[in-house]
Structure 1
């Protein structure tokens, strides 16, 4: 009997003890609310920044970071892309202006554009460039992030050479197919051959005159140019970055310089390897009736210019693609680090 009374008393003491602890905890919580300057019945404000970070999907974050990084590089290097297109398809008055009808060079084309179209003429085709490159870079980086996750690669795991080539090719193919109509319009805008008033007007005019085939002309050479470029670039870039001592990457300022330097080296190698496909792409998109396929375009280039014809516009393209890719990757690396994707 006395044993039962003892157990009951002990149980009551434990309950009371637990109750007092809960009360004490509650009081402390109330005091902490008062200490923060909020009334007891007022909810503590949410950390909107933290909440937003949790709500965004990593693929969406990668898309936004990629689009942001592509905007500045597209605007900055548009003149180089314009000069490259004009070099691959020089107009008759530019050729006539050169001595003995020698094929005009990069400086001649540049000076001609400034003389005839003013400085603003160097940014001709800016709207389709933005419409193509900004979402294109975003799609590329988000696809790359998604594919890397599918491969089971964590944030801190490096890609092997073959993995980098494969991921780069697939990611660029996905974005290239999605944006081929804008690529066609961009090339025609920059050439000076076609006079479109707006992006929407160009889409309607091409579709009305050439149908869906016109909006997708040059898709083969475009993918043959962009997909290998992205695959080779990503391989060279990741391998160059992995060769750098890890401690060098700890400093934010040093990391940015390293990312940019690795991007420059990767861009030069990848640009030279894919320039022939860029020449064929330009011919097919400017003259779809004359060059219905890549073979006819290649035959024309070979007969007209010889082997050197496949590298027309290589210098401005190499400068633009190399600097643009290096800047885009540097900005992307910094943004992804700041938003927690790395």
Structure 2
């Protein structure tokens, strides 16, 4: 058992899981607001005061209390804790296998980030579907296990993998672009900053920049993914057509602000915590 726990990939999994726990708990309200914005009824006019980020947030607090902002946090934990662990352990294993201790170049960083996200995304997709349904407020699930059972019984197991293509089209480019920008920005830092006590803050700042760029580029795929998972009868192409007909091009960027805030802060925090923990246990991230 001790030998297993000493394996670098297991250590990376544990570090990643802890970083995912911290970031999920802090930023779940932003994910809920993003999901609510993306699944508003089509009768609500884009640009009206009723569909802004703050109005949705206040509406949730008013109707579901402050705790309502953390609705779906348990399925988020169920997804994120192992999911981020799988992501970082896969990333670490791929990096060690192909690059050993060398710093990845831009293309290599894209491949490492995209490969790790593909593995984690496919494995955790059923929980992602349940999390999205919890957050949208249209389903009355009581627990994650009950939701999984209900979906399998009423819609079939295939529904748990609805939005797979849209999810991969969102997450794989996001992770690849994020790791590329993050690694290249971090590499450009002066050595005196990288080795100083302020290195975690500098790394976090690099993560913020990388997260904003990656979030904006992949936002349309996130909107499509949300629609397919809330309405699994829709195909990806049908969801794209529906969003465009109902809301135009701007519909593909609905919820961009809360998602960008959440994804950027979560990714920056997760990578900062992960790298600090890996350094503490004597491993290169």
Does the CA-based 8 Å contact 2:134-2:141 persist in structure 1? yes
1:11 aligns with none
Does the CA-based 8 Å contact 2:49-2:55 persist in structure 1? no
The answer to whether 1:211 aligns with 2:165 is no
Match of 1:140 among 65, 73, 87: 87
Q: d(CA) in 2 for partners of 1:147 and 1:64?
A: 17
Match of 1:334 among 251, 276, 281: 276
Q: Which structure would you say has the larger Rg?
A: 1
1:124 aligns with 71
The answer to whether 1:87 aligns with 2:32 is no
1:276 aligns with 220
The answer to whether 1:302 aligns with 2:235 is no
- Tell which has more relative contact order, 1 or 2 (C-alpha 8 A, sep 6+): 2
Q: d(CA) in 2 for partners of 1:55 and 1:315?
A: 39
Relative to structure 1, the CA distance from residue 101 to residue 312 in structure 2 (aligned partners, 3 Å threshold; closer, same or farther) is closer
Q: d(CA) in 1 for partners of 2:4 and 2:23?
A: 29
What CA deviation, in whole Å up to 9, does each residue of 1:199-228 have, x standing for no partner? 100000000111121110001101110110
Q: d(CA) in 2 for partners of 1:149 and 1:242?
A: 18
2:266 aligns with 324
- Secondary structure at the residue paired with 2:186? helix
The answer to whether 1:149 aligns with 2:96 is yes
Over the aligned positions, Cα root-mean-square deviation in angstroms equals 2.0
Query: Number of matched residues?
Result: 284
2:54 aligns with 107
Q: d(CA) in 2 for partners of 1:135 and 1:271?
A: 22
Q: d(CA) in 2 for partners of 1:166 and 1:125?
A: 31
2:133 aligns with 188
Q: Which runs of 5+ in 1 are unaligned?
A: 1-50
What CA deviation, in whole Å up to 9, does each residue of 1:286-333 have, x standing for no partner? 1112x1x21100001111111100000000000000000000011011
1:250 Cα deviation after fit: 1.2
1:255 aligns with 199
- Secondary structure at the residue paired with 1:340? coil
TM-score normalised to structure 1 length: 0.80
Q: Which runs of 5+ in 2 are unaligned?
A: none
Relative to structure 1, the CA distance from residue 55 to residue 322 in structure 2 (aligned partners, 3 Å threshold; closer, same or farther) is closer
